[in-house]
Amino acid sequence: MARGQQASQELTEVFNQLWHLDTNRLRPGTDYIISLQGRAGYVAQGSNYARDRARAPLFTYVNEDKLKSIETYAHFINLLDNYEASTGVSETVTTEELQENRLFIDSIMETDVMKCAHKYLVRKGQSPSDTAQFKRQLYDIWFRLYHRDRNGGEDSCGFEHVFVGETKYGQEVMGLHNWVQFYLQEKHDHVDYKGYKARANKDTPDEDDHVLNLQFSWKGLVKPVGGSFIGVSPEFEVALFTIIFLMETDKMTSVVVKVDEYMLELVVYRHGRSIGTSYPKLLSSNNRDL
């Protein structure tokens, strides 16, 4: 246990460094506005009924011009369009899409966030110091296609699962832990926000919180609770989860860290040399225990 805590202490320092370097993080109340509304109720596993405690969308406003003017978000949004939501449907990857995957990696590697993450990983002996080789490593972790569905073709990759979301046999929602995708899907009426998840009334989150636990339905399927960063840049999430992914080789790693004012559990599942899934779980925020 001590080793885990020590690791978390070191990770806490690194992740806070990344947090401070994340100049592409959007500002709540200015660049975007959310409306939390009601606290979501309990949904039984496998049930697709959730009482709607939020009549309006989660995102009241997002400055899309600003979003699209930031290179990493612009490439990120291009990628969101490229994935077929259903697992078991073999992904057809066009040359153009492969190029877009690379452009996204190139653009995040220009940021201080990823440069800092790269330096840390090199220091820990987890990544090659050569930038081109490190980009290849990132590509394998996030974009290599693998079989998530045993019967199907190569139907999934880490990026798709975490950032885009997938449906499994038309039954449950997997992934979709990214706020930009959540916003875009909500705008297209594919996502219906049901309310925030919190244990008791005293845990009410704030509209300027950068991490939330949400309940929603996507294309009619319910996700009882999904953790998500709000307003952070794509490079920040890629940096965080890449570092955790490379720390160990177990099927699953969970670390508890304090980033800014948030006490978080960060979870990463591995699928061979790639990310199976990764997400944050908000445990508490400065003045509130969950």
How does DSSP classify residue 202? Answer: G
Kindly list the domain boundaries of the chain, sorted by start residue: 5-285
How many other CB atoms are there within 10 angstroms of residue 74's CB atom?
A: 14
The one catalytic residue among 75, 118, 135, 177: 177
Note if 177 is an active site residue: yes
Which one is catalytic: 75, 118, 161, 197?
A: 161
Alpha-carbon distance 80 to 20, whole Å? 26
Q: Mind listing the pLDDT tens digit for each residue in 190-223?
A: 999 999 998 766 678 889 999 999 999 988 888 8
Candidates 263, 203, 275; CA nearest to 237 is: 275
Other C-beta atoms closer than 10 Å to the C-beta of 220 total 11
Residue 188 designated active-site: no
Q: pLDDT tens for residues 43-94?
A: 887 778 889 999 999 999 999 999 999 999 999 998 887 765 555 666 677 7
Query: 174 - beta bridge partners?
Result: 166
Residues with Cβ < 8 Å from 95, sequence gap 6 or more? none
- What would the DSSP string read from start to end of 93-125? --HHHHHHHHHHHHHHHTSHHHHHHHHHHHHTT
Q: Taking the model in full, what pTM does it have?
A: 0.92
Mapped onto helix, strand or coil, the DSSP state of residue 25 is: coil
State the Cα angle at 85 between 219 and 56, rounded to 5°: 30
Q: What is the pLDDT along the chain (290 residues), one digit of tens a residue?
A: 445 555 689 999 999 999 999 999 999 999 999 999 999 998 887 778 889 999 999 999 999 999 999 999 999 998 887 765 555 666 677 788 889 999 999 999 999 999 999 999 999 999 999 999 999 999 999 999 887 666 666 677 888 888 888 776 666 667 788 999 999 999 999 999 999 998 766 678 889 999 999 999 988 888 888 899 999 999 999 999 999 999 989 999 999 999 999 999 999 999 899 999 999 999 887 655 44
Question: Catalytic one among 197, 210, 223, 281?
Answer: 223
281 has catalytic annotation:
no
Cα separation, 235 vs 106, in Å, equals 11
